[in-house]
Amino acid sequence: MKNWHLYEFKDNKSYHQSRQLGPQEQFGENTLFNNANFETSFHQTDEDAGADYLSQNNANVFGIGTQVNDSLLNWKFDVPTNLGTNFPGYFSNGSVVASVGTSAGNPLIFKGGTLVFKAKIKCSTYNIVGNGAALVAKALENCLTYNNLNDRTFLNASLAPHGFSLDGFDPSSETANADFEALRKIFDNAPSYSFDLNIQDGEIIGQPYAGTIPEPEDYRSKLICSVKRNAAVGEIDTVPFDEKVPVGHFIVIRLRFGFNVVNHLPLLRRP
């Protein structure tokens, strides 16, 4: 099960993990290639994926994004008893303005879960010979991206030009929108899921590191997030070069959230 990584990427303030966008068809198991880069028409350029940011900022993997969290986010910590001369000045304050999800290398991480998008449609015309696959794809796209769930009759109307309608839905019924609730078993374009890691105070999460003997991996170690200090007013760089380390770490223990689909790329090919 893959986890969800959330980070800000805009205005050349961060970078993506890879240049790949859109569908990536893979054939057979091959850890060296597996055709993962075959669909190059969906790739970004190195510049669009954030290469300029990395080269212009000394490969600062933190990124400069600050929009994932609330702008008033403060990270609080115990002030060290002996600061010495190697600690940044803000350590004596006990808190610092911070951000999470600032780059692909410093994402906000949620435990993965299964999402099931459903849409059951039926063909209302025989005139789909030759372009049936494209029409089905467009009809399903309409179902998955429709966001006005208070008016399902309009969704059904948007499917008509493509020769389809929702299966089991009668838009002429006086209780059409209410009846739609009964169709949840065959239609859901905004699924949700929840998780609870049940982590207790003082519990140790094992994390492998260089020079150790491999042990059974604790999946929770991949859910640990880092906290980045925000730039102070007047700082040219995100953070002084010698402070580009996490000011703290945390893990999202429990959460319930929902998803929906939006158009990002045009429909370029048949499914």
Q: What is the pLDDT of residue 109?
A: 94
Domain range annotation of the chain? 1-22+33-112+191-271, 118-189
Contact 180/169 with Cβ under 8 angstroms? yes
State the pTM of this model: 0.74
- The tokens 């009668």 sit on which residue? 170
pLDDT of 114 strictly over 80: yes
Per-residue pLDDT of 217-246, as tens digits, reads 788 889 999 988 876 655 544 455 445 668
Contact 7/63 with Cβ under 8 angstroms? yes
Per-residue pLDDT of 22-45, as tens digits, reads 655 655 555 555 555 555 556 777
Per-residue pLDDT of 50-84, as tens digits, reads 887 777 777 677 777 677 887 778 888 888 777 66
Rounded alpha-carbon distances, angstroms, from residue 14 to 20, 108, 223, 245, 247: 16, 14, 21, 16, 19
- Helix ranges (DSSP H) in 7-118: 51-56
Q: Which one is predicted more confidently, 211 or 39?
A: 211
The CA distance from 261 to 242, in Å, is 41
- Helix ranges (DSSP H) in the chain: 51-56, 132-145, 152-159, 176-179
Q: Determine what percent of the chain falls in helix, strand and coil, rounding each to the nearest 5.
A: 20, 15, 60
Q: What is the pLDDT of residue 176?
A: 58
